[in-house]
Amino acid sequence: MNIKIDKHLDTPTITAALFDLDGTLLDREEQIPSEIIEKIKYISKYIPTTIASGRIFSSVKDYSTILDLHSPQISDNGAIIFDPKKNDKIIFSKSINREISEIIFNLLDSNSFNYFASAKSVEMTHDSKFKTIDDVNIITCFYDDVIKYVSEDKFNFKNKISLVQSTGSSDEKYLSFMPKDVNKGLAIDFYCKYLNLEKSKIFAIGDGLNDLEMLNGVGISVAMGNSNPDLFKVSKFITKNFSDNGTIEALDWIIRGLK
């Protein structure tokens, strides 16, 4: 059973805090409310504070700048970790096989599907004139556009990649093509070694299926009230929905433990 976070719940020792973006920090306009910004800035003065998102490098970089974060940041569903203290140097990267990247791009382009992709910080979309099939970390498109093709597996590459579902801030459904067995949980393994942290003392919060491995891998896991039901099975704690200030409730819980 999940433990509900409220003002009476004692805060465990937290040595780092990781936050999903969509459904957790972002409102439906994809903005971070000012109260959340100020609370995260406060937390980041005391412990490493990190975005862990399915969004690509450039997007996570923009939001981490808004939050004035200086710890390593996790983007591309865990396929990239970059370090703001080293001029945003990529310190961890996993990529899709180049032949498979080419097949996926051809599938999406031939059907005029919208998508966004990242290759070691190089952003690509369906409208991009320049595209590379080298070092592609993630290709994300609308779930309903591609699920038919993926289910049919015409190209027989499903056993060579990971398919990750996620949900946007307006509840839109995405499907990401990822390097095999790469996820936020794998990224956290590297993150902990890099910062010499124990996973048992790491706080992580999220709401989507792409947060499963992250929440399952840390000691202080929090599911948003608006989470996919599968997250409640792997999370120790639960907070309210984003719209009911669940994120703020969780942030206040962290802050009480820092004082």
Greatest extent of the chain over all pairs of C-alpha atoms, in Å: 56
Query: 218 and 231 share a domain?
Result: yes
Query: 118 and 238 share a domain?
Result: no
Structural domain for 223, as ranges: 3-92+183-258
The pTM assigned to this predicted structure is 0.95
Query: 148 and 87 share a domain?
Result: no
Query: 17 and 120 share a domain?
Result: no
Query: 7 and 88 share a domain?
Result: yes
Alpha-carbon distance 182 to 95, whole Å? 9
* Domain termination site, one of 152, 179, 206: 179
Cα–chain-centroid distance for residue 165?
11
Nearest to 93 by CA among 179, 204, 174, 160: 179
Query: 197 and 251 share a domain?
Result: yes
Q: What percent of the chain is modeled with pLDDT above 90? A: 87
Query: 35 and 111 share a domain?
Result: no
Query: 68 and 115 share a domain?
Result: no
Nearest to 14 by CA among 241, 211, 197: 197
* Domain termination site, one of 179, 210, 234: 179
Residue 25 confidence class, pLDDT cut points 50, 70, 90: very high
Residue with tokens 């569903």: 77
Residue 13 has pLDDT above 70, yes or no: yes
Both tokens assigned to 37: 């910004």
Query: 44 and 160 share a domain?
Result: no
Region of poorest pLDDT, from 50-64, 117-131, 217-231, 235-249: 117-131
Q: What is the pLDDT of residue 70?
A: 97
Q: Which CATH number is 124's domain given?
A: 3.30.1240.10
Q: Which CATH number is 228's domain given?
A: 3.40.50.1000
Q: What is the pLDDT of residue 155?
A: 61
Total structural domains in the chain? Answer: 2
Residue 148 confidence class, pLDDT cut points 50, 70, 90: confident
* Domain termination site, one of 154, 179, 204: 179
Both tokens assigned to 46: 């005391």
Query: 124 pairs with which residues across the strands?
Result: 117
Residue 152 has pLDDT above 80, yes or no: no
Query: 149 and 215 share a domain?
Result: no
Q: What percent of the chain is modeled with pLDDT above 70? A: 98
Query: 112 and 11 share a domain?
Result: no
Q: Summarize pLDDT for 176-203 with one digit per residue, the tens.
A: 999 999 999 999 999 999 999 999 999 9
